[in-house]
Each structure stands twice: as C-alpha cells, then as structure tokens.
Structure 1
Amino acid sequence: MKLGLLTACMPERPLEEVARWAGANGYEALELAAWPTIGDRPFTASHLAADAFDGRERERVAEALEGNGLTLSALAYYDNNLHPDPVERAAIHAHVRACVDAAAALGGVPVGTFVGRDPGRSVADNLREAERVLPPLVDYAGERGVRLMIENCVMEGWHPDGYPGNLAYSPELWEWMFDLGLYLNFDPSHLLWLGIDPVEALEPYVDRVAHAHAKDAETFAARRNRYGFFGRLSTRATDPWEMGWWRYRIPGLGEVDFRRYVDTLYAGGFDGVLSVEHEDPVWGGTPGKVEQGLVLAHRNLRPLLVA
C-alpha cells in the first residue's frame, strides 16, 4: 500500500509544484484533481486537463510524477451524474468520459465520481434513473480498461434540506452500485458522522475497493443535541455545508480508528493507494496551513503502512 494525496486541496498551484512538494515530503502517489477549468466549487481543482487531453498533456503529467518519484493513483472528478438539468448532466457525463480516456492513456488508473441525486425526486426514482444512465458510463470505462468508482460521500450540501445528495453513502447502496459494475473509493470519515462504524462497514467489501481515502471526522455531541442529526438550519442558505455538529479532520485528529482501518484494508488484500483528502478547516485556509496539515497526515499515517 502506498501513501498518496488528493491534489484538490492545492487548487492554486500547478501540477508541477504540487508534485515537487509531495515527493519532497514523503508522499508516494497523487490522486489528480481533474475537474473542468471553468467553475469555482470548493475542494475542486484542475491539475489534469481531461477536456483537452492529448500527447503533450500526457507527457506533462508523466514527467511531473516520474520526476518526483510519484505514481498516479486515480483521477478525481466528483460531480452529480443525476443532475436535474439535462444540459448540465450531459456535460458532466461527457467530462466523466474524458477522464476515462485520460486514465486509459495513463495506464488504466481508476476514475472517481459520484452517483449524485436529483433533489426534486424521491430516492426510489433516483435509483431507477441511475440504473438507466450509469451503466453506459461503466461500459465506456470497462471497454478502455478503467474502473469507474464512487466515493461514499454524503454531499449533504447538494440537497436544500441537508439530506444525502449522493446516493452512495451506506453499505446498502454500495451493494446496489456493485450490481451496476461500479467500484468504491472508500472514505471512512463520512460513515463516522452517519453513525456507521467505518471498519465494520468496510470489512465485507474490501474486494470492491479500487482506491481508499484517508480523511478523519470529529463530532460534537452537545451541538448535535441542539441541532439534531440533520444539522443547523438557520444558516443553511449561506453555507449548505456547515452542519454545525461535526467537521472533517486530518487523519489521526478525529475519531476514525486508522490503525483498524489500515489493518482491515491489508487483511482484505488491498494493495492500492491510501490517499489523503485534506478538508480539515483547522489546517486549511492558506497554502501554508494546508502544507502543515498534509505533513501531519503523513506523520500519523506513515507508521501504519508497510515500507
């Protein structure tokens, strides 16, 4: 197992600079953010131009990675594949396919995305719609030797009332995804605040984990007593991501048992990349703080991995 990081936490830096920093600070792999260059959604970046991928871009990416002793673990484009606007949905699907093409040219690494949700329709209707629109994307990826994987992020900010905006947040839904040919980019942090033991949830499904995230979460029981499980409502219009009673943390600074988590991955035969996804507000806000957070993550995780 290698230790890597998702580059979305460094959106202001070019890939070459991110790769130099990662290699110099002991990381072994990069999960490259590959969102379109248009847009400014938080926690996104464009370190690989999937929508303009050609031989020159392939060479640029390969040189940045190989020149710093890094491997490529995955491409990251997490968007709403069930977007209610048909024009927007078509554009998202086109970019997923562009990421698949780039991943195939770069050795067949997995591509990460979301199932998503149309918040105006029921869960049952969304699942039936997903069964219609996702298999063609799975087939497109499979024909090119690429695994399409879904992260189990709740994406509560996509729903006006803070309900799950990505229908991939529980083991029940993973089994449904696997039937469609999708794989899992496993992230323990989302399960923790949902009240699901991340390690117990992971154990039966390690063979369907194509990639693994390292992100922690911290909960505050007293605040949950005030706001309830579904989170703060009074400020949701200004910040749909602020639930009020939990927050993401650097691995080792929250409540996920990373020793058990890593051991369960090893026990299940996982030999891929454990990729740090840095969304910790304590160690964010400036490039320098982000770097410090990533150094802490490396310090906490490296002793758990076989050299």
Structure 2
Amino acid sequence: MKLGFLTACLPDRSLPEIAAWAAEHAYEALEVAAWPDLGARPFTATHLDAAGFTDREADATRTLFDRHGLTLSSLAFYDNNLHPDPDERRAVNEHVAACIDAAALVGCPTVGTFVGRHPGQSVAENLAEAEKVFAPLVDRAGEKGVKLIIENCVMEGWHPDGYPGNLAYSPELWEWMFSIGLYLNYDPSHLVWMGIDPVEALRPYVDRIPHAQAKDIQLFPEKRNRYGWPGKAVVREDPFDVGWWRYRVPGLGDVDWATVVDTLYEGGFDGVLSVEHEDPVWGGTEDKVHTGLEVAHRTLRPLIVA
C-alpha cells in the first residue's frame, strides 16, 4: 500500500509543483485531477489535459513522476455520466473516454468517475440507462488495460431534494456496478453519514477495490435531530450543505482509520490510499491545504507498512 493524495485540492498549482511538494513531504503517489476546463467549480482542477494528451506529454509525465519517486495512481474526473441534458451527458462520457486513453498512454492503472443520476427518473430507470452508457466505456477501458473506478460519493447536491445524486452509495449498488465491469474507489467518509458501517461494508469487496480514498467526516447528531437524515430542507443555500456533518482530513473526524487500513490489508489491498482533501477548516488557502495534507500524512503514514 502507498499513501498519496488527489491533486484537486491545489487547483492553482501545476503538476510539477505539486509533485515536488508531495515528494518533499513523503507522499508516495498522486491521484491526478483531469477535469476539462470548467471554470471556478469547487473540488475540480486540470493537472493533466486528457483530451489533448500526446505521446510527448506522456513521456514528460512519466519522467516527472520518476524524478520524484512517485506513483501516478489514477486520473480523476468525477462528473455526472447520466446528466439529464443530452449534450452535457455526451460531453462527460466523451471526456471519460479521453481519460481512459490518456491513462493507457501514460501507464496509469485506473480512471475515476461517478455513475451520476438523472434526477427526474427513478433509480431503476437510471440503472438501466447506466448499463447502456457504461458498456462502451468499460469495453474501451478493458481493451486498454485500464480499470474504470467509481467513487461511492453520494453527491446529494445534484438532486433537487438532497437525495443521492450518484448511484454508487451502498454495497447493493456496488454489486450492480461490479456486474457491469466497474470497480470501486472506496471512500469511507460517505458511508458514515449514510448510516453504513464503513468497515463491514468494505470487508467483502476488497478484491474489487483497486484504489481507495482517505477522507474523514465529522458528524453533529444534535443537528441531525433537527433536520433528519436528508438534511436542511427549508433554507439550503448551498445544495451540498446538509447541515449536520462536514468533511475533515483523516484524523480529525469519526472514521476509525486503523481498522479501515487493517481491513484493506487483510483483504489483500496493495494499491494507493489517496487523501481527498475537502476539509473546510484546513482549506481556503494553499498554506491551510498543505497543513491539512500534513495532518492526513501524520495520521495515515504510521498505519501503512513501509
């Protein structure tokens, strides 16, 4: 197992700058943000231009990672592959395909995305549609030796009423994903607020998890008593603000990281555990983001066998 982080937390830094900082601070891998240019959208960045990626850029990227002794663990493009607008959906699907091609070119083993959801359709209708949408992407990935991984993020802000906007939030849905050739990018934080034990949910599926993310979560049960599980309903200015929990860097929330890492080891996981930094306390400035990454490293590094 290696310890890395997702580069999206440093959107204004170049990949060479991030790689140098990561190596200097004893990280071993990077999950590289590969969104297209979407403007100022939170938690997105473009550190690798998948749509315009060439053999020359692949060589330069490999040289950069080799120079710093880093592993390129995954290309990250987390967007709605079932977007209700046909043009938006097509653009997302096509960029996932571009990420698969870029990953194959540079020798990266995985590409991460979301299933997504059409909020105007039932879950059953969405799953039937997803099987058609993902079939060519799974085939393309298989042909190129790349695994297409889905993060179990709930993406509640994509649904007008705060219900799950990414149909990958439970083991039941993971089994459906596996049946169509997708893999899981396991993140325990989302399971905690869904009321799912992140360790018991993890244990049976480690062999379908080639990559994992490390994000923590801090719960405020007294606020849940006011809003209920779906969160704020009357006044919700930020669609992702449910009002009774917040993400934290590992070590500052409610996830039992020693047990999570031990369960990954017990199941034979030998991939990258990648810190996904979305902590509002240790965010807002680059210095704070760096501090948050250092806190995460101090929490997780002692748990990972050298």
Q: In structure 1, what is the equivalent of residue 257 of structure 2? A: 258
Q: Which amino acid aligns with 2:57?
A: E
Q: In structure 2, what is the equivalent of residue 52 of structure 1? A: 52
- Tell me the distance in 1 between the aligned counterparts of 2:126 and 2:247: 27
Give secondary structure in 2 for the equivalent of 1:284: coil
Q: How far is 1:62 from its partner?
A: 1.8
Give secondary structure in 1 for the equivalent of 2:274: strand
- Tell me the distance in 1 between the aligned counterparts of 2:143 and 2:150: 18
Q: In structure 1, what is the equivalent of residue 84 of structure 2? A: 84
Q: How far is 1:234 from its partner?
A: 3.3
Q: In structure 2, what is the equivalent of residue 303 of structure 1? A: 302
Task: Give the RMSD, CA atoms, in angstroms.
Answer: 0.9
Give secondary structure in 1 for the equivalent of 2:240: coil
Q: How far is 1:41 from its partner?
A: 1.7
Q: In structure 1, what is the equivalent of residue 16 of structure 2? A: 16
- Tell me the distance in 1 between the aligned counterparts of 2:63 and 2:35: 20
Identity among equivalent pairs (%) = 68
- Which residues of 2 match residues 99-178 of structure 1 at below 5 A? 99-178=99-178
Q: In structure 2, what is the equivalent of residue 38 of structure 1? A: 38
Give secondary structure in 2 for the equivalent of 1:80: coil
Q: In structure 2, what is the equivalent of residue 280 of structure 1? A: 279
CA contact (8 A) 2:80 2:166 kept: yes
Q: Which amino acid aligns with 1:164?
A: P
- Tell me the distance in 2 between the aligned counterparts of 1:60 and 1:286: 29
Give secondary structure in 1 for the equivalent of 2:259: helix
- Tell me the distance in 2 between the aligned counterparts of 1:252 and 1:80: 30
Q: Which amino acid aligns with 2:136?
A: P
Q: May I ask how many residue pairs the two structures share in their alignment?
A: 306
- Tell me the distance in 1 between the aligned counterparts of 2:9 and 2:270: 24
Runs of 5+ unmatched residues, structure 1: none
Q: How far is 1:306 from its partner?
A: 0.3
TM-score, normalised to structure 1, is 0.98
Q: In structure 2, what is the equivalent of residue 267 of structure 1? A: 266
- Tell me the distance in 1 between the aligned counterparts of 2:111 and 2:138: 11
- Tell me the distance in 1 between the aligned counterparts of 2:156 and 2:165: 5
Q: How far is 1:205 from its partner?
A: 0.2
- Tell me the distance in 2 between the aligned counterparts of 1:168 and 1:230: 17
Give secondary structure in 2 for the equivalent of 1:134: helix
TM-score, normalised to structure 2, is 0.98
- Tell me the distance in 1 between the aligned counterparts of 2:124 and 2:179: 16
Q: How far is 1:124 from its partner?
A: 1.0
- Tell me the distance in 1 between the aligned counterparts of 2:281 and 2:108: 35
Q: How far is 1:39 from its partner?
A: 3.0
- Tell me the distance in 2 between the aligned counterparts of 1:285 and 1:264: 33
Q: Which amino acid aligns with 1:9?
A: C
CA contact (8 A) 1:214 1:277 kept: yes
Which digits, 9 at most, give the CA deviation of each residue in 1:142-176, with x for residues without a partner?
01111101000000010111000000000000000
- Tell me the distance in 2 between the aligned counterparts of 1:293 and 1:234: 33
Which digits, 9 at most, give the CA deviation of each residue in 1:159-209, with x for residues without a partner?
111000000000000000000000000000000011101000000000000
- Tell me the distance in 2 between the aligned counterparts of 1:171 and 1:163: 17
- Tell me the distance in 1 between the aligned counterparts of 2:27 and 2:219: 28
Q: In structure 1, what is the equivalent of residue 247 of structure 2? A: 248
Q: How far is 1:132 from its partner?
A: 1.4
Q: How far is 1:69 from its partner?
A: 1.4
Q: How far is 1:233 from its partner?
A: 2.1
Give secondary structure in 1 for the equivalent of 2:30: strand
CA contact (8 A) 1:283 1:292 kept: yes
Q: How far is 1:232 from its partner?
A: 1.1
Give secondary structure in 2 for the equivalent of 1:78: coil
- Tell me the distance in 2 between the aligned counterparts of 1:233 and 1:134: 33
Q: Which amino acid aligns with 2:174?
A: W
- Tell me the distance in 2 between the aligned counterparts of 1:139 and 1:56: 26
CA contact (8 A) 1:49 1:57 kept: no
Q: How far is 1:122 from its partner?
A: 0.9
Q: How far is 1:99 from its partner?
A: 0.3
CA contact (8 A) 1:213 1:277 kept: yes
Q: How far is 1:64 from its partner?
A: 2.4
- Tell me the distance in 2 between the aligned counterparts of 1:172 and 1:247: 25
Give secondary structure in 2 for the equivalent of 1:168: coil
Which digits, 9 at most, give the CA deviation of each residue in 1:58-91, with x for residues without a partner?
1332232222111100010011010111111111
